[in-house]
A and B are shown apart, each in its own frame.
Chain A
């Protein structure tokens, strides 16, 4: 293709030419990260060549279950989402914030610079784009500098889902499966017996720039329609649904609902859901002194509201029971997130359902609370002695 790509335009990239896209990304200085098979799951890692991708693999997901299976075709992106999310790059699970050295009775602090290498996220699902938007607002509101710095250098190559996962409910949350916004490029993979191609849609100037030199031709209407039909099919076959209407009030008004105790008896407080969730942001800080006591590092690492000690104050903890922790997690994710950030914290990716070892399904929990909500309104304040 000789003309420069333009934003909003759609092109066809033949399967055979896919390595040219990878080459263009690396040639433009991007470190490419994307899906790869490791430890019997599709996780995110370095993509140096196309064979690093999970070619011909798909995932079977259900509550508490995840299994890889061979596809009957050689699709590159024929799976949904794995246990990891892109937050591992924007908000690493362990990160050094600064190093301090003792000096003349005082100390000097050196903030940790962020690796400036631009990243190309290859294979970002619509729900993951939405999750990144949510995280942008969370970390933005707090003025977090390293998230902002990393985020600046990210190119997002989205992939539209052609099939729904067993635990997904992006349609309910309004986050997918179609990629509408936030992408630099969007790919829709079409695998036919006679053809294998990608519909490429340009979402930004940065995306357009990367495509120069990649062999593309304008997409015919028929190919666009085929790709759209795939996405529609995915939308029609969601594994789960969850009505988000009125969810904020429902959960805030039902802190004493009997369902919390029922789910608490199953929950192991293992924190899997918070680690897998692309929008969970809780973190803690650690002092790491060296043996000489002359130098100390401040690190931050992921934390979880399910961890004991999370709410420790004055020698005790506010949330001691699993009951209160589960309630906190779900109420925050689906309800009070609205108060804090003006939107839901959930994008319907289904990871928390898949990766819960006991298969707790938040869509089911919400439905149970909806069926018999306790009366709305604040608890009455009692007075007097007994």
Chain B
């Protein structure tokens, strides 16, 4: 198997059964869109905040309902508040979407590999998010803006279905006002109230100003979006060795034992969810793998 320069995954505390969720408290709840909310979770008394790296996820548990794998979307320097942005899609995410401040949500984690920020040092950084792909990238943005001189140009492209589906709307306006990064938003369709771009994230790629020989890209969204965005980045001169994707598969255990999340030889929960595109593109191009 080809060697990979992946960050080593963080595992949960030794000695504790990996199956046991810790009851966190819902501290805040904010509505993002018609079907998406963001909650902040704080640890119970006696449990220190759990550090995480951008790109990792937690298994969030609703008593009596079940668990779902949700990316951590907050600031990694403030793990006392674990932010998760959740779209109501299945039974568990629907239940999580109802979680009111003061209620309890179980947490197992953090799991998985994170975005390779160390490799981004001194480079132009491109973040491309499709739909709910922005939450897993938000910690990267926090990290980079905290340490701005460490990185070259920062180009962010975020695409949603319609303007009403944009998450972190107010925060995006603040990011767009900054001069030390470029934040482009685009939607699939809009009405007269939208003066921004309409079209795919891929259409924004030709205009980004980067040095393709010294750039790194983090992509997150539907697999088809990542595939065509990578293609557009390669057309701009980047190689698949400097493009990273975050994959999603059915997860039950998050520790590489239930077998559900396998993509070829990779356990997405443990060897991913962040992968270097070069290492997984051959598996992504096989139907039903």
Contacts and interface: CB of A to CB of B under 8 A. Distances in A.
User: Are chains A and B touching in the complex at the 8 Å CB cutoff?
Assistant: yes
Interface of A: 97-98, 100, 102, 105-107, 109, 111, 138-139, 141-145, 252, 255-256, 281-285, 287, 289, 293, 296, 298, 300, 303, 305, 310-315, 318-321, 323-324, 328, 331-332, 336, 339-340, 378-379, 381, 383
Contacts of B104: 105-107
A314 B89 CA distance: 8
13 contacts: A98-B17, A98-B20, A255-B286, A284-B252, A284-B260, A285-B19, A300-B19, A305-B259, A311-B260, A319-B288, A323-B288, A324-B289, A336-B264
Q: Which 3 A-B pairs have the closest CB atoms?
A: A339-B265, A324-B288, A282-B259
B63 A315 contact: no
B31 interface: no
Interface string B247-282: 011101101111110101101000000000000011
B65 interface: yes
Given A97-B17, A102-B63, A109-B21, A285 B252 contact: yes
B64 interface: yes
A296 B252 CA distance: 17
Contacts of B258: 282-285, 300, 303
Nearest to B235: A383
Contacts of A98: 17, 19-20
Contacts of B21: 109
B250 A313 contact: yes
B103 interface: yes
Nearest to B248: A313
Contact of A296 (B23, B25, B64, B289): B64
Contact of B20 (A111, A255, A284, A336): A111
B192 interface: no
A145 B262 CA distance: 22
Contacts of A339: 1, 265
Given A305-B259, A339-B265, A111 B286 contact: no
Contacts of A287: 64-66
A336 B255 CA distance: 18
B171 interface: no
B248 A107 contact: no
- Give the residue among A141, A312, A340 with the most B Cβ atoms within 10 A: A340
A311 B267 contact: no
Interface residues of B, number: 44
A97 B19 contact: yes
Given A111-B19, A296-B64, A383-B231, A281 B259 contact: yes
Contacts of B257: 138-139, 142, 144, 281, 283
Given A98-B20, A109-B21, A138-B257, A315 B89 contact: yes
B122 interface: no
B63 A107 contact: yes
A282 B23 CA distance: 27
Given A145-B18, A293-B64, 10 more contacts: A106-B104, A107-B104, A109-B21, A145-B17, A255-B286, A287-B65, A303-B260, A379-B286, A381-B281, A381-B285
A255 B289 contact: yes
A107 B106 contact: yes
A311 B287 CA distance: 13
A315 B63 CA distance: 22
Given A252-B264, A283-B257, A289-B64, A105 B102 contact: yes
B44 interface: yes
B11 interface: yes
Contacts of A256: 286
Interface in B21-70: 21, 23, 25, 44, 63-67
A247 B44 CA distance: 50
Given A107-B63, A287-B64, A340-B267, A310 B19 contact: no
Contacts of B260: 282, 284, 303, 310-311
Contact of A318 (B44, B103, B288): B288
Contacts of A145: 17-18
Contact of B250 (A283, A312, A332): A312
Contacts of A381: 281, 285
Nearest to A139: B257
A323 B289 CA distance: 10
Contacts of A284: 252, 258, 260
A323 B11 CA distance: 35
- Give the residue among A109, A293, A379 with the most B Cβ atoms within 10 A: A109
A105 B250 CA distance: 29
Given A314-B89, A318-B249, A298 B19 contact: yes
A12 B202 CA distance: 76
